[in-house]
Amino acid sequence: MRNMKPKVLFAAAMLVSLFLGICYAEEGGRLYSSALREARSGNKETAFMHFRSFLANYPDSRYARDALFATGEYYFLISDYADSVQAFTRYLDDYPDSPCVSFALVYLLKIAEKRGEESLASDLKKKIATLRQMSFLFRESKEYKYRSALFRKHKAVYYIDRAEFYIDGELFAKISY
Amino acid sequence: MRKYLTKVALFLFLIILLISASASIVCNIILAKSKNTVLEASNKYFPQKVSIGNLLYLPPCFIVITDASMAEASGKKENIISVPQAWIRLSLLELIARRRASISGISLYRPQADYPRLREFLKENFERIMEFIKHLPKQDIKISIKEAELRPAQNDDREHYIAANFFLKIRGNSVSAKGSAGRNFRGTSLLRRGSEIKRPEAGVPLRFVFKGVLADSGISIENLELMRENLYAKFWGDSAGNILSLNGFGFANTFFTGRDGYARAAFNIAGRLKDALAGRAAPRYPAIDLSKVNLYVLDINCRINLLLPRLRIERLSFSLNNNPVSVQGSILFSRPVGIGLAVSSNQAESGKAPVENLKKVDLRLQGILENSAFTGNGMLSLDFIKKKKASPPLERLKLGFKGLSVNPSGYPRLKLSLKGLSLFCLTESNIYRMFLDGMNALVYLQNEKSKFIEFNSKLYGGSVNGWGRVDLDTFPPRVSSAVRFRGVDANKLEGLLVHLSKVYGRMYGQAYFSSYPRLILNGGMVVENGYLRDFEFFKWLSETFSLPSLRKIDFTKLSSNFTVNDEGAGLHELKLNSQDVNLSGYFRLGADDLVSSKLSLSLSRELLKESPKFAPLLRLAADPGPASLAFNFQLSGVLDAMNFQWLSSDFKKDVQDAIPGFIERKIERSVEDLIESVQ
Task: Look up the CATH number of the domain holding residue A102.
Answer: 1.25.40.10
A136: which chain B residues are within 8 Å (Cβ-Cβ)? Answer: 643-646
How far apart are alpha carbons B285 and B226 in whole angstroms?
13
Least confident of A119-133, B266-280, B494-508: B266-280
- N residues, chain A: 177
Between residues 593 and 612 of chain B, which touch chain A (CB distance below 8 Å)?
594, 596
Which of B596, B634, B664 is closest, CB to CB, to A138? B664
pLDDT of residue B676: 60
The reported pTM is 0.62
Give the total residue count for chain B. Answer: 679
Q: How many domains does chain A have?
A: 1
Give the pLDDT score at B1.
Answer: 67
Q: Which pLDDT does position B157 carry in this prediction?
A: 53
Contact residues on chain A for B667, CB-CB shorter than 8 A: 137-138
pLDDT at B591: 78
**Residues 6 or more apart in contact with residue A83 via CB below 8 angstroms:** A75
- Answer yes or no: is pLDDT of B258 > 70: no
Q: How far is CA B669 from the centre of its chain?
A: 63
Most confident segment among B65-69, B77-81, B484-488, B619-623: B484-488
Per-residue pLDDT band at B58 (split at 50, 70, 90): confident
Of B596, B641, B667, the CB nearest to A130: B641
Q: What is the mean pLDDT of residues B36-52?
A: 78
Query: For residue range B200-225, what is the model confidence (pLDDT) as tens digits?
Result: 555 678 899 999 998 877 889 999 99
Q: What radius of gyration, in Å, describes the C-alpha atoms of chain A?
A: 21
Most confident of B57-61, B241-245, B463-467: B463-467
- Residue A133 to residue B645, Cβ atoms within 8 A: no
Count CB neighbours of B113 within 10 A: 22
- Mean pLDDT confidence for B573-598: 90
**Contact list, B596 vs chain A (CB under 8 Å):** 161
- Check residue B167 and give its pLDDT: 93
Question: CA–CA separation, B304 vs B306, rounded Å?
Answer: 6
- Percent with pLDDT over 70 in chain B: 84
Give the angle subtended at the CA of B128 by the CAs of B122 and B132, to the nearest 5°: 115
What pLDDT sits at residue B402?
Answer: 93
- Substitution target in B643, B651, B663, B670 with the highest count of A β-carbons within 10 Å is B643
- The confidence score (pLDDT) of residue B265 equals 42
> What distance in Å separates the CA atoms of residue B347 and residue B359, rounded to the nearest whole number?
5
Instruction: Tell the burial category of B262 from Cβ atoms under 10 Å away from its Cβ (0-12, 13-18, 19+).
Output: middle
* Inter-residue contact A75 to A52 (CB < 8 Å): no
Note the pLDDT of residue A63: 92
CA–CA gap between residue B140 and residue B135 (Å, rounded)? 15
Range of the domain at A64: 4-176
Cβ-contact B504, B531 below 8 angstroms: yes
pLDDT of residue B338: 92
Q: For position A40, what pLDDT does the model report?
A: 93
Q: Which long-range contacts (CB under 8 A, 24 or more apart) does B35-43 make?
A: none
Q: Is the ipTM of this complex over 0.90?
A: no
CA dist A131 and B640 (Å) reads 11
* Phi, psi torsion values for A137, nearest 5 degrees: -90, -50
Q: Is the pLDDT of residue B188 over 60?
A: no
Digitized pLDDT (tens) for each residue of chain A, 177 residues in all? 455 566 666 666 565 555 555 545 566 788 899 999 999 999 999 999 999 999 999 999 989 999 999 999 999 999 999 999 999 999 999 999 998 999 999 999 999 999 999 999 999 998 998 888 888 888 889 999 999 999 999 999 999 989 999 999 999 999 988
Provide the percentage of residues in chain B whose pLDDT is more than 90: 31
Calpha distance A50→A71 (Å, rounded): 10
Residue B413: what pLDDT?
86
d(CA B221, CA B244): 10
- Provide, as residue numbers in chain B, all residues whose Cβ is less than 8 Å from the Cβ of A135: 643-645, 668, 671-672, 675
- Quick check: B70 and B125 in contact, CB under 8 A? no
pLDDT at B264: 45
Q: What is the pLDDT of residues B447-462, one digit of tens each?
A: 878 889 999 999 999 9
Highest mean pLDDT among A29-43, B35-49, B76-90, B110-124: A29-43
Chain A, nearest residue to B660 by Cα = A138
C-alpha B112/C-alpha B589 separation (Å) is: 67
Rounded to whole angstroms, the Cα distance separating B560 from B242 reads 63
Whether residue B372 lies within 8 A of chain A, CB to CB, comes out as no
The larger pLDDT score, comparing residue B43 to residue B646, is at B646
